[in-house]
Amino acid sequence: MQTCPVVVLVSGSGSNLQALIDTRNEADPAVEIRAVISNKPDAFGLERAARAGIPGIVVNHRDYPDRESFDAELIRQIDALQPELVILAGFMRILTKGFVEHYAGRLVNIHPSLLPRYPGLNTHARAIENGDSEAGATVHFVTPEVDGGPIIIQVRVVIEEKDTADSLAARVLQQEHVIYPRAVRWFADRRLTIENGQVLLDGEKSPLQEIAAYEH
C-alpha cells in the first residue's frame, strides 16, 4: 500500500497528535508523519513527537512581523517535507487566505462543535448556555472561511444536566481522538473527494459523517 506523508501543526499539548501517533500501524504504515511543526517552542506536542521519533520544527510566530511572512516561512518548511496532507491539531493561529489556498483540498482541522454551529472559541460553554441537548466535534477541510470548510466526519456527544464546559470538553476530546485518525486514514486511502462543496466517501455521502451520540 502506498504511504501518505503528512505534516502535523500544533500549538499546545497535542493530544490529537498523540491519537494519530497511537493509531499508526507499523505493519501497514498508511500514514507517515514526516514532521510536527509548532509556532510555540514550549508546546508539549513537540515532546510527544520526539518520544515517537518524529522530527519537530519550531516556526515561532513572534519572530515574524506579520501573518503573511510567518505563513510564508511555514509554507517553506512544510513544502520541503512534501506532504500530501497538512493536519491542524490544536494549531492556534488563523491562517492567511494564501496559506489555505496553497493547500486547498489537503489541509484538515478538527473543531470542538457540531459545525456549522459554534465556529470560533468557547464552543462547549456556548452549547450549554443555549440549552443544547448535544455537542460534538467536526473534522473538516480548511477553507478561507474560519471553521467553514466541507465536513468529513462529525461525532455527537450528549450534554448531561450536570455538565460544565470543562467536563463536556473532556468527553468531546475523547471522541476527537477517535474520529480524527479515522478521517486521516480515509484521506490516506484515497477515499475522500470534494464535489460541489461536499465531502464524499467512496463517491457517496458517508453515513458515518454523523456518528451516533455517545452516552457518558
Q: Given 102, 111, 124, 140, which residue is catalytic?
A: 111
Cis preceding linkage at 150, omega within 30: no
Cα–Cα dist 38/177, whole Å: 20
Cα–Cα dist 82/6, whole Å: 8
Cα–Cα dist 135/114, whole Å: 6
Residue 140 known to be catalytic: no
- The catalytic residue positions are 111
